[in-house]
Structure 1
Amino acid sequence: MPIPQPAEASSSSKQWEQETTNLPSFYSPKSKPKQPALKPNSDVAPLEQPLPEPSSPPAFSAEGSLVDPPPPSLLSPEFTPPSTPGNATPSLEPRSIPVDSTVPSGGCGSKKPKLLPSLPAVECIVRARIPTVNGTEMFLHLYTNNVDNKEHLAIVFGTNIRSKSLDDPRPGETQMDRMIRGAYSGRLFPGRTTSGMGETSSRDPPQQEKGAIPLVRIHSECYTGETAWSARCDCGEQLDEAARLMSLPTNTSGGIIIYLRQEGRGIGLGEKLKAYNLQDLGSDTVEANLLLRHPADARSYGLATAMLLDLGQEEVRLLTNNPDKIRAVEGPNREVVIKERVPMVPLSWRGRGGFKSQEVEGYLKTKIEKMGHMLDMGAIS
């Protein structure tokens, strides 16, 4: 026998449906209101209530006296960025769309970006294993290059993806030198004396499928969105979603996040903050850059292409909503071939967390209407 619902719950549910019907497609729906519990004297069974959160055990100092608990965080749980990478909602798998940049109808946009005649020279100088707060492990690669003085990064998921420039032997180095800079196989452990390159080890983690095409995200640095909890953009959520997809147990082909240090679409943090002030004065993100005499998008992807080649990847699946980025990442002579485009759909777009703000709504609207980014409704539904 169904449990009758109180009138207040029915009214709240109808109001929630009306409020979420006409939200923009990139808005995450509001949380459905909780239904109030029935009074104890009611003839109907009470609604199921969530269990209270367990309280933290009391803390004691070295002398045995009770220590006051720390004050609550200044950041509310709704505002704190999600853990990265995560295995939440592992059933949400990426959906791939075949692309071909050699034909006009290949799904790669209409723009022809200006590319350098040759790719930059890059070198991976150190690699280290990063255990994450959610149990996933990844390898962080730090790169230098011959075009700028910045240290760009490659975050690698999987054990078969390795850097050629890192693994190449260097004159006069010892086995300990190789292990310290990350040119080793398997895992490091106390007492290990050799890098083990070319050897097999019982300590090696399970290998992913060889020959599979990895998932790749080209991500440009965004201090405000990734570190300062800015609600002006969705950069932090996109970085989280890329890591979530690459850390799924079903992703046996590995993954790479190329993290380029080109803040503010290439104009730098200082100019980006000026653009924020122009946005508060009424400009959108494109107009603000142009008013500051910068291109709407000053980013370059030659370094990303060179880093992918150093990691041994000539064919990849690119996680992006910007089809025009495909030709830029492929390089001047298609040194890297993008076989598929995987739509970037953060979990908040599916109504599974994240945040909403007036600023991010305008930001996404501008990306879609003025910069040609695609919103894949099939991946959201």
Structure 2
Amino acid sequence: MKNIQVEIITIGDEILIGQIVDTNSAWMSAELNKAGFDIVQITSIHDDREQILTSLGNALERADIVLITGGIGPTKDDITKQTLCEFFGTKLVFDESVYHNIERLLVNRKGVMNELTKAQAMVPQSATVIQNKAGTAPITWFEKDGKVVVSMPGVPYEMKQTMNFDIIPRLKEKFEASVLLHKTLLIYGYPESALAIKIADWEDALLSNLHLAYLPHYGIIRLRLSGVSDDVLTLELMMNQQIDKVKEILGDAVVSDEDVSVEELVGKILKKKDLTLATAESCTGGNIAHLITTISGSSAYFKGSVVSYANEVKTKVLGVSANDIEECGAVSKEVVEQMVQGVQQLLSTDVAVATSGIMGPDGGTDEKPVGTVWIAACYNGKVISRKFQFNNQREQNIERATQAALLMVREILGEEV
């Protein structure tokens, strides 16, 4: 089997001026990867004839498949259809089937059908037309010298629907792609360089069809092993053997052998044990609670949070001793342990976690510099607390403290999933 290569081109001035974020490419890459296709490049360009022609020509030199999103709307700045006609030496023609599809979509929307909307039914003559089930702009499929170019809408909902139900099935039918698998470990407690040194001998011994990637994110490193083969069973066995070897080397530093977020991992443990969780957050400002509640079904185990940013909230709501705040400071072992016990009692949960720190860039002292964070977790009568020293970047400190707090919940529960 051949490793089939795909390039994605997103068209739109709004992407390049930062007005919108290009989420289409990330989603498409993930879905194509699952289907066994290899993404070689992603390019974003203006609604500009020369850029479209040049980018498409270059892409076809690298890739077997080029997927284009955007630039096929009804307005004058949408020039992709006309430019594709120029590239493939064809012309726009009126397509009755596309027009009827537009009529069907607009049947209950009086006044929407106008000259510009009707012009959506003009399509490149040499292209295969795929009806857009969710919008008025049709999808066009071109073939040249055994390669495929597909132009589709940039509206995410429309693009996703046609990718799932039309484009990926057709690509799989036309191209026989190699099997492409990924296996991911979540690693905690190693800087990226130290991790690379630790597993250097193992990595150097990997076969040529296996590739390792280091994906660091706020204290967690995703170690992703990717493999390509014609035989899925052989590849699966080979990769599992390699994963077992590196897990032996890294021991407790392996947080999970699933490609999940830490908040998802903690949620799985809480659901499995039928336990509830609360957070008391000072320096993280509710970010732990925010991440927990991004997981569907988190209401089964998460009761709530007290964002005790001010000292009076720590004392009046969580029952922290004012004397301890005065003597030890709000960022201290004594205070954070009282915070975690206070929120556990207040919200009647099985488990709780609390944070207090100096996120910066201001507020640090010689004794407690910016980046100093105390975190405590409690469960089943046990309290663990730990001091962390992060850097002077506020956003990074919040994210690192959040990850550390979630991992301390996992630690006090004493179990992996």
Which category of TM-score, normalised to the shorter sequence, fits these structures? under 0.3
Structure number having the greater helix percentage:
2
Give TM-score scaled by structure 1 length.
0.25
Structure number having the greater strand percentage:
2
